[in-house]
Amino acid sequence: MKRINITVNGKAVSASVEPRMQLADFLRESLNLTGTHLGCEHGVCGACTLLVDGTPIRSCITLAVACEGARVTTVEGLDEDLIAGELRAAFSREHALQCGYCTPGMLISARDTVMRMPDANERDIRVAMSGNLCRCTGYVGIVRAIQSVITERKAKGLSSPPSPRAEFGPAGSGRARPTAVGAVAAAPAAARAARRPGPAGAADRAPEARRVAEPGVGKPQTTLHESFTVDYPRAKVWAFFGRLGDVATCLPGTSLLGTPTDEHVETRIRIKVGPIVSEFDGAADVVRDASSFSGVIRGSAHDARSRSATRGEIQYVLIEDENGAATRVEVDVGFTLTGPLAQFSRSSIVHDIAWRMTDAFARNLRARLNRGNGSARADSTAGASISEINAAPLILSVIWNRIKTFFRSLLGR
Ligand code: FES
Ligand code: FES
């Protein structure tokens, strides 16, 4: 994490952020400024446009840490702005929006156009606004609205304040210092490992398990840490973790494809969000180190329907608890998701969902261990009966919890 100090809509903000966090995510998820919309997340559509030191930028491809010391203005910060007010009225008068998704970014770019180009004609406006895409309106109303503001200001002899924008190019405050991103990102995992007691601490973990914690190796987009405790001795849990097929089917929504070995498993994971069902088919391999009771599972999977793919690693370490009567399972997950479903890996909601999935995994694991010495085949069959992850209730319950937290903090409880 890195601490940044920026001014957002006139208010000083100091916060710790992941070095890889984009400015749009920071504003939306940490400051609840959801007026900044995210469309393509590739710097193409312009939905996320906002002002950094007065210059329009794509906040989906601008790192929050690059804005150290900068003045950030979102659409919420333009409530009292004269030109933005004129544009809002013109957009509404000229029917320049339908769904409104592109509108915050459009207003920011339109304001910049009005300020920079007091004599702009229709063609100039179309060129100036070509970095903002709208899928609803056909642009006619948008161009007419901007043109009408320019014409009215000209007729009234109103001059726009000078644009702070001197040049085109990447924007940022220019005050952020370069940082060893990998080293910062790796710090929490290293700190956690250092806190682990006894022979299962970081120094004693399997070389394979240590390798993925080192900066610059693998570099997953999303990393998570979870832990849970089961009321069984470590030797018993370790033996269970040796049966890769059983471990895989403790994950909700996971079924086996073919017969697993103790080192290799092929699986299908079904995830359902409303009417959309994704089926990730993939394979995973495990490397275990009995001396440190740790292991690393490495795999990849692909969903043909959504054209999304993922690859990742799960490191686990088993730690004796309650004088050997229980076992704490510490899990580090790192994964990269590509394709249309990648948008879900960015949100912090994924952390809440991961926690719930870990909880479900822990419950399944306890149930399997409760069955005593059932065979691997019997356990695998039982796990396969969990037919799919229904992500919609998970997401709804996450959102509901957030609403409750928000109102509690509002009421000071
Ligand atoms: Fe940033 Fe599309 S979301 S440009
Ligand atoms: Fe719907 Fe522009 S009004 S995308």
Same domain, 235 and 334: yes
72 and 91, same structural domain? no
Residues 279, 298, single domain; the answer is yes
pLDDT of residue 158: 80
Residue 277 pLDDT grade (very low, low, confident, very high; cuts 50, 70, 90): confident
Task: Return the pLDDT at 342.
Answer: 65
> Ligand 2: which atom is nearest the Cα of residue 98?
3
- pLDDT value at residue 345: 59
284 and 382 assigned to the same domain: yes
CA angle 356, 359, 364 (to 5 degrees): 130
Model pLDDT, residue 93:
96
Q: Using CA positions, which residue lies closest to atom 1 of ligand 2?
A: 99
Q: Separation of 131 CA from ligand 1 center, angstroms?
A: 10
- The SS3 call for residue 319 is strand
Domain range holding 111? Answer: 81-155
The CATH number of residue 21's host domain is 3.10.20.30
* Coarse DSSP helix, strand, coil percentages of the chain, rounded to the nearest 5 percent: 40, 25, 35
Q: How far apart are the CA of 83 and the centre of ligand 2, in A?
A: 21
Inter-axis angle of helices 103-116 and 140-155, to 10 degrees?
A: 40
Most confident of 95-109, 185-199, 248-262: 95-109
* 136 alpha carbon – ligand 2 mean position (Å): 5
Of 40, 62, 75, which is best to mutate to test ligand 1, by the most ligand atoms within 8 angstroms of its C-beta? 40
Does 302 fall in a domain?
yes
Of 46, 77, 108, the one marking the end of a domain is 77
Q: Is residue 250 over pLDDT 80?
A: yes
Query: Is pLDDT above 70 for 256?
Result: yes
For residue 170, report the distance from its CA to the centre of ligand 1, in Å. Answer: 14
**Ligand 1 pocket, mutate which of 22, 25, 34, 42 (most atoms under 8 A from CB):** 42
How many A from CA of 42 to the centre of ligand 1? 6
**364 C-alpha vs ligand 2 centroid, how far in Å?**
45
Whether 380 has a pLDDT exceeding 60, the answer reads no
What CATH number is associated with residue 389?
Answer: 3.30.530.20
Q: What is the mean pLDDT of residues 285-296?
A: 89
- Top-confidence residue, 301 or 137: 137
Query: 393 and 323 share a domain?
Result: yes
> Are residues 136 and 273 both part of a single domain?
no
Measure the CA angle with vertex 114, ends 50 and 129; round to 5°: 60
23 or 286: which leads in pLDDT: 23
N- to C-terminal Cα distance for the chain? 28
What single string gives the DSSP state of each residue in 267-301?
Answer: EEEEEEETTEEEEEEEEEEEEEETTTTEEEEEEEE
Residues 235 and 384 in one domain: yes
Q: How many domains does the chain have?
A: 3
> What are the structure tokens assigned to 401, written together?
């919890």
Nearest to 334 by CA among 313, 306, 348: 313
Residue 191 has pLDDT above 70, yes or no: no
- Both 255 and 362 in one domain: the answer is yes
Which domain-ending residue is among 77, 98, 118?
Answer: 77
| Beta carbons of 19 and 2 less than 8 angstroms apart | yes
Distance from the CA of 298 to the center of ligand 2, in angstroms? 42
Question: Is residue 376 in some structural domain?
Answer: yes
| Nearest-atom index, ligand 1, CA of 133 | 2
The two beta strands, 49-52 and 55-58, are antiparallel
pLDDT tens-digit map of 82-111: 999 999 999 999 999 999 999 999 999 999
Q: Where does the pLDDT of residue 188 fall: very low under 50, low under 70, confident under 90, or very high at 90 and above? A: very low
Q: Is 164 inside a domain boundary?
A: no
Share of the chain above pLDDT 70, in %: 69
Residues having CB within 6 Å of any atom of ligand 1: 38-41, 43-48, 58, 60
Give the model's confidence band at 120: pLDDT under 50 very low, under 70 low, under 90 confident, else very high.
very high
Residues 6+ apart with CB under 8 A from 176: 4, 65, 66, 67, 68, 69
Tell me, yes or no, whether 71 and 85 share the same domain.
no
In a domain, 97, yes or no: yes
What is the CATH number for 143? 1.10.150.120
Q: Is the pLDDT of residue 295 over 60?
A: yes
Place of tokens 């503001």: 149
pLDDT at 216 over 50: no
The pLDDT value given to residue 376:
39
- Is there a domain that residue 204 lies in? no
pLDDT higher at 379 or 389? 389
Q: Confidence band (pLDDT; 50, 70, 90) for 395?
A: low
Residue whose CA is closest, atom 4 of ligand 1? 43
Question: What local confidence, expressed as pLDDT, does residue 103 receive?
Answer: 97
pLDDT in tens, 10-38: 999 999 999 999 999 999 999 999 999 99
Boundary (domain end) residue, out of 53, 77, 101: 77
Q: To which residue do tokens 């103790």 refer?
A: 262
- At residue 196, the pLDDT reads 40
Tens-digit pLDDT profile for residues 350-360 = 666 667 777 77
pLDDT at 12: 95
SS3 at position 265? strand
The answer as to whether 126 is a domain residue is yes
pTM, two decimals, is 0.48
Output the pLDDT for position 38.
96
Identify the band that residue 368 occupies on the pLDDT scale cut at 50, 70 and 90.
confident
Question: Is residue 170 domain-resident?
Answer: no
